[in-house]
Chains A and B, each alone.
Chain A
Amino acid sequence: MGRARYILRRSLLSVVVLVGVSAVTFALARVVPSDPARKWVGPRARPEQVERARIELGLDRPLYEQYVGYLGQVLRGDLGTSVRSHRPILEDLRRYLPATLELVLASMAISTLVGIPLGVVAAVRQGSAFDRSCRLFAVLNISIPVFWLALILQLVFSQSLGWLPLGGRISRGVSLFAPIQPVTGLYLVDASWTGNWRALWDALAHLILPALALSSYGIGMSLRMTRANMLEVLGQKYILAARAAGLNPWTIHFRLALKNAIVPSLVLLGLMFVWQMTGAVLVEILFFWPGLGTYLMDAILNIDFPAIVSVTLVVTVMYVLVSLALDLVQTMIDPRVTLD
């Protein structure tokens, strides 16, 4: 199908999916829990207070109306109010999101920088001991529970060796004497931007362990996918021709093969982003990282239902948009892609 048609259909698909996603989150927020009104007012409320909450929350109106109202709210940016803090959830999210984004981006960087080259070399040396160890390494990485890896890293690098801090994003000393000016919310970016080298170093020290813990699944995934893609490309006739023509192996592997193997890796990035976002929840808890994960954990402990559902909605919307963007980029590079 033509590129323009593909773009149109793909974008339309995203819209449909987003509507579906909002319907599911609505169902989870209002329909499934036993009594949202009672949850809102708390366990010691009198019956008339519960009744009033029910009317205020619009629970006495038909389901269809409630959904439309919900949709309208969400589109206007009103994600509801946290049951626990009674603050607008959107505000809370805006404060916690940059920390998680920084963690996810750092971890994705580690995953690709480790996984992809290993995958390439493993494919080139298929069947060798190196290849076999790489495959085992990949399986171990995707089988390890992130929260355990985080704990082990803390034990070794923080507790035993004392090289790196246990948790948090920044040391108290730095936040008092050399605070980072907030520009993007990403400490590494902001610190470099303002030339605050002491803070940069400190933020980096705090970022390494959580990012490393989070990157394990991504390393495994990118190693396997890159290896599989490379193997497929290397099996093609034009590689054989290049070898027969006497081109040097470096050229063959990196200039010819890798460029073609890389394209499906865009899909990988999308998947990795989703996975890292969810894994971040687990890692943040262990490292006292003030991001979405910690926020979600608090929401769970306090049974703050609107918050939980809103975080799910926001992260899902982000994934849908990122995935759409990646697909569109892919079609720019490779016009042969089709829908499904």
Chain B
Amino acid sequence: MWSSLRRDGLALVSLSLVVASVLVAILAPVLAPYPEQGKGQPNLSERLQAPSYLHPLGTDDVGRDLLSRLLFGARPSLATGFMVVALALLIGLPLGAIAGFLGGWIDELIMRLTDVFMSFPALLLAVAISMALGPSLRNAMLAIALTWWPLYARLARAQAVSVKQETFIEASRAIGMSEGRILLEHVLPHIATPVLIQATADVGAAILMGAALSFIGLGVQPPDPDWGNMLAVARVYFREAAWFALFPGLAILLVAAAFNLVGDAARDSLDPRSRSR
């Protein structure tokens, strides 16, 4: 996989971007020129300044350095991306594996459950759950994860169903292995790969949804920085301060695109059945 990845220039760039964004999120306090403003401290004397030497990306509506805000804003965005996928995997993978492996009424029940959850438009369901639980970053992540798990459950189930037929499973049964152990030691590893490939590509989409929820006001609450809620405020000022609206959105676009491209590259090189090459 690494050799084909090295040949693909775009995939390399995206991978570097992904790594860079993770580093930025972690190192924000060190990288940001004005870390206090990044975290939320207002600076009213320098409201809405255009990009300058002192403030490379300008300032926001309460005078905070936009670059610092953006750097700190990487944290909730990336956290949402990873947490949502992790939670969804935590819920969906076992359910799907059990459904596919055990079959019967458990399979039916779990599949109908995924049908129901997949019928909801993800954003609307996330909005409803967020509202019910109360607006916060943590609840937003939970809400989005609850809309995402059916996808992984389905994938895991499909994999489990095909693995079930393999002879080594039959052999394990013949030597007296319990169903539970078979599930854990043999089925799960085989299921993991395709699901994880899908998960990598999904981080980008999860970041977008997190940003959307924050934009509406249901995710990260101000003054905590988040690319989504920055855009919500920037919208009001876009006539006088176009830069304020430009940069957070650009950040979301670049990071989401980078994750999507990396996910695509992973899918192309690891999944022999994919024919997009």
Which among B88-96, B180-188, B245-253 touches the partner chain? B245-253
Which among B34-42, B48-56, B212-220 touches the partner chain? B212-220
A203 within 8 A of B: no
Instruction: Tell me the chain A residues, 278-306 only, with Cβ under 8 Å from chain B.
Output: 278-279, 281-282, 285-286, 296-297, 300-301, 303, 305
Question: Min CB distance, B114 to chain A, in Å?
Answer: 10
B230-260 interface bits toward A, Cβ cutoff 8 Å, 1 = contact, 0 = none: 0100110011001001101110110011001
Known contacts A143-B256, A145-B249; A300 and B215 CB within 8 A of each other: no
Known contacts A227-B276, A228-B276, A274-B121; A28 and B129 CB within 8 A of each other: yes
Interface residues on B, range: 35 or more
Question: Min CB distance, A230 to chain B, in Å?
Answer: 10
A136 within 8 A of B: yes
Q: In the complex the two chains form, is B125's CB within 8 Å of A312's CB? A: yes
A301 to B234: give the CA distance in the assembly, Å.
18
Known contacts A148-B252, A227-B276, A286-B235; A142 and B211 CB within 8 A of each other: no
Enumerate chain A residues within 8 angstroms of B177, measured Cβ to Cβ.
none
Known contacts A300-B216, A308-B131; A20 and B116 CB within 8 A of each other: yes
Known contacts A148-B252, A155-B245; A24 and B127 CB within 8 A of each other: no
Q: In the complex the two chains form, is B128's CB within 8 Å of A28's CB? A: yes
B120 within 8 A of A: yes
A149 to B248: give the CA distance in the assembly, Å.
12
Known contacts A145-B252, A300-B216; A32 and B132 CB within 8 A of each other: yes
A114-134 interface bits toward B, Cβ cutoff 8 Å, 1 = contact, 0 = none: 000000000000000000100
B1-41 interface bits toward A, Cβ cutoff 8 Å, 1 = contact, 0 = none: 00000000010000000000000000000000000000000
Interface residues on A, range: 35 or more
A218 to B245: give the CA distance in the assembly, Å.
24
A16 within 8 A of B: yes
Name the residue on A nearest B212 (C-beta): A282
Q: Pick from B208, B235, B275: contact of A145, CB below 8 A.
A: B208
Question: Min CB distance, A330 to chain B, in Å?
Answer: 17
A32 to B212: give the CA distance in the assembly, Å.
23
Q: In the complex the two chains form, is A231's CB within 8 Å of B218's CB? A: no
Enumerate chain B residues within 8 angstroms of A140, measured Cβ to Cβ.
253, 257
A275 to B147: give the CA distance in the assembly, Å.
13
Enumerate chain B residues within 8 angstroms of A275, measured Cβ to Cβ.
121
Question: Min CB distance, B216 to chain A, in Å?
Answer: 6
A72 within 8 A of B: no
A6 within 8 A of B: no
A159 within 8 A of B: yes
Q: Pick from A25, A305, A323: contact of B131, CB below 8 A.
A: A305
Question: Min CB distance, A276 to chain B, in Å?
Answer: 10
A17 within 8 A of B: yes
B190 within 8 A of A: no
Q: Pick from B217, B253, B257: contact of A300, CB below 8 A.
A: B217
B264 within 8 A of A: yes
Name the residue on B nearest A314 (C-beta): B124
Enumerate chain B residues within 8 angstroms of A279, measured Cβ to Cβ.
123
B191 within 8 A of A: no
Known contacts A20-B112, A143-B256; A148 and B238 CB within 8 A of each other: no
Q: Pick from B115, B119, B123, B249: contact of A148, CB below 8 A.
A: B249
Name the residue on B nearest A319 (C-beta): B119
A57 within 8 A of B: no
Q: In the complex the two chains form, is A235's CB within 8 Å of B275's CB? A: yes
Enumerate chain B residues within 8 angstroms of A152, measured Cβ to Cβ.
245-246, 249
Enumerate chain B residues within 8 angstroms of A312, measured Cβ to Cβ.
120-121, 124-125, 127-128
A224 to B218: give the CA distance in the assembly, Å.
31
Q: In the complex the two chains form, is B212's CB within 8 Å of A145's CB? A: yes
Instruction: Tell me the chain A residues, 30-85 only, with Cβ under 8 Å from chain B.
Output: 32-33
B204 within 8 A of A: yes
Q: In the complex the two chains form, is A145's CB within 8 Å of B128's CB? A: no
Q: In the complex the two chains form, is B249's CB within 8 Å of A319's CB? A: no
A24 to B215: give the CA distance in the assembly, Å.
25
Additional A-B contacts beyond A148-B250, A279-B123, A308-B127 (18; CB < 8 A)? A16-B115, A17-B116, A17-B119, A24-B117, A145-B211, A147-B235, A149-B249, A152-B249, A228-B276, A231-B276, A232-B275, A278-B124, A281-B123, A305-B132, A308-B128, A312-B120, A312-B128, A316-B119
Can you list 20 A-B pairs with a CB-CB distance of less than 8 A? A21-B119, A24-B117, A139-B260, A143-B208, A143-B257, A145-B211, A145-B249, A145-B256, A147-B215, A148-B245, A148-B253, A151-B245, A152-B246, A152-B249, A286-B235, A296-B127, A297-B216, A300-B218, A309-B128, A311-B124
- Counting from the closest, the 6 A-B pairs by CB-CB distance are A148-B249, A20-B116, A143-B257, A32-B132, A143-B256, A278-B123
